[in-house]
Structure 1
Amino acid sequence: MRPENQTGVAEFLLLGLSEDPEWQPLLFGLFLTVYLVTVLGNLLIILVISSDSHLHTPMYFFLSHLAFTDICFSTTTIPKMLVNIQRQSKSISYTGCLTQVSFVLFFAGLENFLLAAMAYDRYVAICHPLRYTVIMNPHLCGLLILLSLSISTADALLHSLMVLRLSFCTDLEIPHFFCELAQVIKLACSDTLINNTLVYLVTSILGGVPLLGIIFSYIQIVSSTLRMSSAGGKYKAFSTCGSHLSVVSLFYGTAFGVYISSAVIHSSKDTASASVMYTVVPPMLNPFIYSLRNKDMKGALKKLI
């Protein structure tokens, strides 16, 4: 049957990671556990930072915002998936789907910029230690957060408004566990050239510029560290950057892995499974990376306990 144009879309269908009924209880238990670990772990990070005055520094200021962003990022996708599994339903309203697209774009973009701000903070701390408190003042930290929020909001609004102009067909099945922008655009009956061009252009700019900033910061950090004469100084410099570098590698590594695999693998199901790696895994592991690799966080956590 030829799909007909449908302008008043009532709902989309999220096919999830598996349509096999036997897998549903396992998926529900697994993702509920992941979600609880993510929320509790990141809440603990925020609580530890806010309760210890020694951690009221720019580095931990950005970390607390990153932890909050991770909670919101996971909350955007996982709860709806859990509700659908529990109700044995696949539906999500048109408004709900568009809202999910917007929030996924917003929080993914915000995490991207926060990681870049944290890299700049480490660069100033190691390469310009004597001017650190002057450069990384509260005004600049607040400005970086405000700038990250503004650009992420503009990005999410741009793509959401561009989706609103599309008309959709009767085949509204999304082979995913959440409404991903690329998957929603594929369902449109109208011309999507402008949408796809914007996706590639904006993603390249907003993803590439922060990444280049992170790479530049770490090139300068490594260069400055290697010039240090003290072995203890080198170890301290690398140890302070280890947690952030691990999180950066996890976030960008999984994201690039998904998009490279989606270009090679034509199965939508495999792409959906791969998307778990950048939407679910990094927010869950970030608290463990920062609490296990950071002496200050471990000390503050012991005090809190």
Structure 2
Amino acid sequence: MNQTSITIVLLMSLSDDQKTIHVLFIFFLLIYLMTVFSNFLIILLVVTCAHLHTPMYFFLGNLAFLDMSYSSVTAPRLLSHLSTHRWSISLSECKAQIFFVIYFVASESYLLASMSYDRYVAICRPLHYSQVMSGGKCAQIMFLVCLCGFLVPIILNSFLRRLTFCGPNFIRNFFCDLPHLFQISCTDPTINFIVLLILGSVIGSIVFIATFYPYVRIFRAVLRIGTSDGKSKAFSTCTSHLTVVVIFYASLTFTYLVPITSNLLTLNQVLTVIYTLITPLLNPLIYSLRSKDLKAALQRALHIHRLHPDTATRR
């Protein structure tokens, strides 16, 4: 039987009501603008403020870049669908969106693991911190994070080429995601599911352990500190990162553990919105609220702008 390959993928609309669509457009537009602004502000402060030129804030600046980039893979397209009421995307654009979503998620997980190691060295090996986490070492770590981020999407994309798509061309999500794309394949995607499961289990477990095991060592070291002030200061240096890590893995886990069924479709959409749009906004807010150095840098920048508005404008 002849099968015609599809070139357009239809996405699921978030609502059929026009007033709801307008409200959602404004809501998601504000979230996206706040995400870009807050993450860009952190990058700007880390680059321009000399006292933020430390490994912790170097990694934080890169985390902000990944969050901003990840949000930009899905949010602008979603806003376009909401404004034009056309919930379609070409198959090639759909595959490209999947590639970059996986890349930024993988890179962020590697970066969070690197930040855990940075906190471990700072608390458990403070005398060797400047040597172990030198500027050159941090740059090498970040290079490996970006390079290894391509590993998973390249492997999955190579196996994706074996699939053919001949209809139906409708997926139950507002953006392209790999499990949803498998469901509209007219080729048996079992091999692809197995590869995805193996990569997710092996690499995910390694990164998960690498992220949380340093905190086991950190907690042991902190508990040996005699004074309560010392314990409080030690915990305060890693609470922001630990909060971001918990939110990242919790949202990722709930998004992909909830089965894609008609009964749980609304819940799945809500979890997907939180994971793709809300989480990149929460990360800079968490660090900004808990980091005294970041708040001081922001206050100093605002104070300089008020004192020298003409100079700030010329710059």
TM-score (norm 1): 0.95
* Overall identity of the aligned pairs, in %: 38
1:83 matches 2:72: no
Q: Which residue of 2 aligns with 1:46?
A: 43
Q: Which residue of 1 aligns with 2:313?
A: none
Q: Given that residues 5 and 167 in structure 1 are in contact (C-alpha distance below 8 angstroms), is that contact kept between their aligned partners in structure 2?
A: no
Count of residue correspondences: 302
Q: Which residue of 2 aligns with 1:172?
A: 169
Q: Given that residues 12 and 92 in structure 1 are in contact (C-alpha distance below 8 angstroms), is that contact kept between their aligned partners in structure 2?
A: yes
Q: Which residue of 1 aligns with 2:190?
A: 193
1:94 matches 2:54: no
Letter of the 2:277 partner, please give it. V
SS of 1:6's equivalent in the other structure is: coil
1:180-219 matches, within 5 Å, as 180-219=177-216
1:238 matches 2:198: no
Moved over 4 A (4+): 263-266
1:19, distance to aligned residue in structure 2 (A): 3.2
1:259, distance to aligned residue in structure 2 (A): 2.3
SS of 1:92's equivalent in the other structure is: strand
Choose the corresponding residue for 2:294, options 276, 294, 297. 297
Q: Given that residues 58 and 141 in structure 1 are in contact (C-alpha distance below 8 angstroms), is that contact kept between their aligned partners in structure 2?
A: yes
What is the CA–CA distance in structure 1 between the aligned matches of 2:30 and 2:3, rounded to whole Å?
A: 40
What is the CA–CA distance in structure 1 between the aligned matches of 2:261 and 2:29, rounded to whole Å?
A: 31
Choose the corresponding residue for 1:25, options 22, 27, 37. 22
1:229, distance to aligned residue in structure 2 (A): 1.3
1:243, distance to aligned residue in structure 2 (A): 0.5
Q: Tell me which moved more, 159-168 or 260-269.
A: 260-269
Deviation per CA, 1:202-257: give whole Å up to 9, x if none: 11222221111121100000000010112222111100111101101111111112
Change (3 A) 1:73 1:269: same
Unpaired runs of 5+ in structure 1? none
Letter of the 2:4 partner, please give it. Q
SS of 2:89's equivalent in the other structure is: strand
What is the CA–CA distance in structure 2 between the aligned matches of 1:255 and 1:29, rounded to whole Å?
A: 25
What is the CA–CA distance in structure 2 between the aligned matches of 1:79 and 1:107, rounded to whole Å?
A: 16
Letter of the 1:50 partner, please give it. V
Q: Given that residues 4 and 169 in structure 1 are in contact (C-alpha distance below 8 angstroms), is that contact kept between their aligned partners in structure 2?
A: no
Change (3 A) 1:204 1:263: farther
1:285 matches 2:282: yes
Choose the corresponding residue for 1:159, options 134, 140, 156. 156
Q: Tell me which moved more, 161-170 or 294-303.
A: 161-170
Letter of the 1:119 partner, please give it. S
1:146, distance to aligned residue in structure 2 (A): 1.6
1:113, distance to aligned residue in structure 2 (A): 0.7
Q: Given that residues 14 and 176 in structure 1 are in contact (C-alpha distance below 8 angstroms), is that contact kept between their aligned partners in structure 2?
A: yes
1:144, distance to aligned residue in structure 2 (A): 1.5
What is the CA–CA distance in structure 1 between the aligned matches of 2:4 and 2:297, rounded to whole Å?
A: 56
Q: Given that residues 243 and 289 in structure 1 are in contact (C-alpha distance below 8 angstroms), is that contact kept between their aligned partners in structure 2?
A: yes
Q: Given that residues 37 and 284 in structure 1 are in contact (C-alpha distance below 8 angstroms), is that contact kept between their aligned partners in structure 2?
A: yes
Structural RMSD (CA): 1.7
What is the CA–CA distance in structure 2 between the aligned matches of 1:168 and 1:277, rounded to whole Å?
A: 29
1:60 matches 2:63: no
TM-score (norm 2): 0.92
Letter of the 1:209 partner, please give it. I
What is the CA–CA distance in structure 2 between the aligned matches of 1:208 and 1:75, rounded to whole Å?
A: 27
Unpaired runs of 5+ in structure 2? 303-315
What is the CA–CA distance in structure 2 between the aligned matches of 1:112 and 1:265, rounded to whole Å?
A: 30
Q: Given that residues 116 and 214 in structure 2 are in contact (C-alpha distance below 8 angstroms), is that contact kept between their aligned partners in structure 1?
A: yes
Letter of the 1:72 partner, please give it. S
Letter of the 1:257 partner, please give it. F
Q: Given that residues 167 and 186 in structure 2 are in contact (C-alpha distance below 8 angstroms), is that contact kept between their aligned partners in structure 1?
A: no
Letter of the 2:34 partner, please give it. V
1:114 matches 2:114: no
Q: Which residue of 2 aligns with 1:255?
A: 252
Letter of the 2:23 partner, please give it. L
What is the CA–CA distance in structure 1 between the aligned matches of 2:33 and 2:301, rounded to whole Å?
A: 20
